[in-house]
């Protein structure tokens, strides 16, 4: 981005104003029940205001309880600048738009237009909904669901499927009634004038403040998504909340991928297109069938064991050459047939473009790999995805950042490792940024206790889970349940769940036995519940009060060592003379642990124990890095201290 200008007295005025607005005499103290001015929140608001005034980049960590959302919303709205606010998830996006933004706008009396913009898979596509309802191949069990969606869509103003509350547990139904960049007909669509995606984008283009999520932001940043690209160039401010997610999401969007689901969607549409627009072209139908068979053979050749593996390794261990050649030939055959049929109708013309794009992705993937990129395969129970991923996104992201004229604010509760931002800055190639760290205002010395039991087994040892459960049971009894038990793998979760079922006198809620949202609802409405979960429960969960008084983490969350992208990045660091463990593996594990630990203390009156069942925290030298990165809570190895803590509640 352009160099920031020298500081002036004019920069201090908005900084002072932002702090004052969040102070004792400010509007929030009058408007928000229970609002308490926080010095760290006021400091952050001042720093954000200076960042906006000077069009700088700010990278900051704001510990739990800082109130970072208000700390950036107040200076952004007070500035009058055109802003894009990006969050990590759709849940946080909805919370920001429907709860936080209206409150701040009311408190400031800010006359600004705001808009919520999500990815197209969140909006019903009227054309595809009609087509799905009329399909002769429709599963009869879906008829009532589609009828409900048609009634809802006829009355909805936004078309946001979150309102329908029907598709969370049925991704296949969602795929039937939403569009993708591949299958959208654009202005050729017969329902384009009523298109909810187009309406949302027009509203976003006219708004002063737009709330998006990181996936949508990066779809625009790398010009993968058309129709949204007019927003970024006109933004004065870009805020990335939950910014610890940005490096991984950026890696996804600077990658190229081709999935069996994408091809399956194209093949389904091609069958319809051949039937409706080219019934006299049997060769087109034959080409569709050939690619279906070739895709199935390629999936079979890759195996059915869910895993992530690099492409050269997979080619060496399995008989892939014949399947790859047959797939390549079938892809070329259908590409040629669709090009011939493109003039027959709108759908076939769209399919010809989609096919050309997918074939280009395959050609890129199947060509000789570049040293700076890694080709790998994600094998799932229902899908197969081929990826071509950069080893580092630093250069790509830095280039986009350098071209931007906006101020950037990147914030999270978990960006720093031992109080430093080197890992985050290096991952994104950020060389010049204002940096700030505000510790949580919560009194961890009195509100929390860290318990590391003296186990004899390390996580890789046999019977680790059995010993972990034996150590956890007296703690769970002392806390009377009211706990999250967080795991780094489904294997450990399943083993511990089996051991706990007969030994625990409290309600047990286990991930996989109900949807995530339902498990959280039950936890918050069930006395003494114990919830067992993996990665999805480590962050973005806010349970305040006594219902959550204990968080147990099974082990230090190091990444999978044979992950192809992580392995390629480690090799690149080693080649550059760096220690891959210290430069990559450890910082990423610290960030994840901080997220899990952050579930415990969510309010000024919360009390609780954090138990980590990994003796490496005390035995290994790197354990000090984890401990130095956690909030400053007392550490004990004594069960009696834990029992006394809960008895004193």
Please report which confidence band the pLDDT of residue 227 belongs to, taking 50, 70 and 90 as the band edges: very low
Q: What is the pLDDT of residue 169?
A: 59
Q: What is the pLDDT of residue 1?
A: 43
Burial 276-298 (b: 16+ CB within 10 A, else e): ebbeebeebbebbebbbebbebb
What pLDDT is stored for residue 170 in this prediction?
67
Chain segment 325-348, per-residue pLDDT in tens: 999 999 999 999 999 999 999 999
pLDDT of 8 higher than 70: no
Residue 228 confidence (pLDDT): 46
Query: What's the pLDDT at 319?
Result: 75
pLDDT tier, 321 (very low <50, low <70, confident <90, very high otherwise): confident
Residue 183 is predicted with a pLDDT of 85
CA angle 197, 203, 208 (to 5 degrees): 140
Which of 580, 583, 589 minimizes the C-alpha distance to 612? 589
Helix axes 260-277, 346-366, angle to 10 degrees: 150
Give yes or no for a contact between 118 and 160, defined as CB atoms under 8 angstroms apart. yes
pLDDT for res 119: 87
Q: So what's the pLDDT on residue 441?
A: 93
Average pLDDT over residues 84-102: 92
pLDDT for residue 230: 60
**Measured distance CA(59)–CA(40) in Å, rounded:** 15
* pLDDT score at 231: 67
Residue 202 has pLDDT above 80, yes or no: yes
Q: What is the mean pLDDT of residues 265-282?
A: 93
State yes or no: pLDDT of 224 exceeds 50: no
User: Is the pLDDT confidence value at 6 over 80?
Assistant: no
Asked whether residue 9 carries a pLDDT value surpassing 60, the answer given is no
Contact by Cβ (8 Å): 388, 373: yes
- pLDDT averaged over every residue in the chain: 91
pLDDT reading at 229 higher than 60: no
The pLDDT assigned to 168 comes to: 57
pLDDT digits (tens, 9 = 90+) for 515-549: 888 999 999 999 999 999 999 999 989 999 999 99
Per DSSP, 185 falls in state -
pLDDT at 486: 97
For residue 5, pLDDT over 50 is answered with no
Segment of 125-134, 360-369, 478-487 carrying the highest mean pLDDT:
478-487
pTM of the predicted protein model: 0.90
**Structural domains of the chain, ranges and CATH numbers in brackets:** 9-113+207-253+393-438 (3.40.50.300), 120-198 (no CATH), 256-390 (1.10.275), 444-647 (3.40.50.300)
User: What digits encode the pLDDT tens for the residues 454-468?
Assistant: 999 999 999 999 999
Instruction: Please report which confidence band the pLDDT of residue 436 belongs to, taking 50, 70 and 90 as the band edges.
Output: very high
Once rounded to an integer, what is the mean pLDDT over residues 236-261? 94
pLDDT of residue 318: 79
Query: What does residue 350 show for φ and ψ, rounded to 5 degrees?
Result: -65, -40
What is the DSSP secondary structure assignment for residue 585, as one 8-state letter? I
Output the CA torsion sign for 494, 495, 501, 505.
negative
pLDDT tens-digit profile of 142-161? 788 888 899 999 999 999 98
Q: What is the pLDDT of residue 625?
A: 96
Taking the C-alpha atoms of residue 415 and residue 394, their distance in angstroms, rounded to an integer, is: 16
């Amino acid at each position: 981005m352009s160099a920031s200008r020298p500081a002036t007295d004019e920069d201090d005025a908005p900084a002072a104003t932002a702090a004052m607005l969040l102070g004792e005499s400010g509007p929030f103290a009058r408007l928000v029940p229970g609002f308490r001015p926080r010095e760290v929140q006021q400091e952050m608001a001042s720093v954000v205001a200076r960042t906006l005034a000077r069009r700088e980049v700010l990278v900051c960590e704001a510990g739990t309880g800082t109130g970072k959302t208000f700390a950036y919303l107040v200076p952004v709205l007070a500035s009058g600048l055109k802003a894009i606010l990006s969050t990590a998830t759709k849940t946080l996006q909805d919370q920001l738009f429907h709860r936080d933004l209206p409150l701040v706008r009311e408190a400031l009396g800010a006359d600004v237009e705001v808009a919520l913009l999500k990815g197209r898979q969140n909006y019903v596509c009227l054309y595809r909904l009609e087509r799905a309802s009329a399909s002769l191949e429709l599963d009869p069990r879906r008829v009532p669901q589609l009828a409900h969606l048609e009634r809802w869509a006829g009355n909805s103003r936004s078309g946001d499927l979150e309102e329908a509350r029907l598709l969370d547990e049925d991704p296949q139904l969602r795929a039937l009634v939403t569009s993708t960049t591949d299958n959208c007909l654009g202005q050729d669509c017969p329902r384009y004038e009523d298109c909810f995606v187009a309406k949302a984008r027009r509203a976003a283009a006219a708004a002063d403040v737009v709330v998006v999520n990181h996936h949508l932001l990066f779809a625009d940043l790398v010009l993968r998504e058309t129709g949204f690209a007019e927003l970024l160039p006109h933004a004065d401010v870009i805020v990335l909340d939950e910014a610890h997610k940005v490096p991984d999401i950026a890696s996804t969007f600077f990658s190229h991928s081709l999935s069996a689901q994408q091809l399956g969607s194209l093949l389904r549409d091609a069958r319809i297109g051949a039937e409706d627009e080219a019934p006299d072209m049997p060769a087109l139908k034959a080409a569709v069938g050939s690619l279906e068979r070739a895709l199935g053979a390629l999936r079979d050749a890759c195996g059915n064991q869910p895993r992530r593996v690099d492409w050269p390794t997979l080619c060496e261990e399995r008989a892939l050459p014949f399947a790859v050649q047959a797939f390549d030939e079938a892809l070329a055959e259908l590409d040629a047939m669709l090009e011939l049929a493109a003039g027959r109708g709108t759908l076939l013309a769209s399919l010809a473009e989609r096919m050309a794009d997918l074939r280009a992705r395959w050609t890129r993937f199947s060509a000789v790999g570049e040293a700076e990129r890694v080709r790998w395969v994600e094998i799932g129970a229902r899908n197969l995805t081929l990826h071509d991923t950069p080893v580092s996104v630093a250069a790509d992201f830095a280039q986009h950042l350098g071209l931007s004229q906006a101020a950037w604010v990147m914030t999270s509760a978990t960006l720093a490792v031992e109080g430093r931002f080197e890992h985050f800055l290096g991952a994104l190639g950020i060389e010049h940024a204002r940096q700030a760290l505000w510790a949580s205002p919560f009194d961890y010395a009195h509100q929390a206790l860290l318990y590391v039991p003296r186990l004899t087994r390390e996580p890789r040892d046999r019977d680790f889970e059995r010993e972990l459960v034996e150590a956890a049971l007296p703690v769970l009894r002392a806390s009377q349940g009211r706990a999250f038990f967080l795991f780094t793998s489904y294997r450990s979760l399943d083993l511990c769940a089996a051991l706990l079922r007969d030994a625990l006198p409290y309600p047990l809620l286990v991930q996989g036995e109900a949807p995530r949202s339902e498990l959280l609802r039950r936890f918050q409405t069930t006395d003494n519940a114990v919830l067992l979960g993996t990665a999805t429960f480590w962050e973005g969960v806010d349970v305040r009060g006594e219902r959550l008084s204990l968080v147990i983490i099974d082990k230090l969350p190091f990444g999978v060592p044979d992950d192809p992208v992580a392995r390629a990045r480690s090799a690149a660091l080693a080649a550059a003379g760096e220690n891959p463990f210290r430069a990559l593996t450890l910082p990423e594990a610290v960030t994840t642990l901080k997220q899990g630990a952050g579930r415990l203390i969510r309010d000024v009156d919360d009390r609780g124990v954090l138990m980590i069942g990994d003796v490496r925290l005390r035995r290994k030298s790197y354990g000090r890095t984890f401990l130095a990165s956690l909030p400053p809570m007392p550490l004990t190895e004594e069960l009696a201290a834990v029992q006394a803590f809960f008895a004193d509640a």
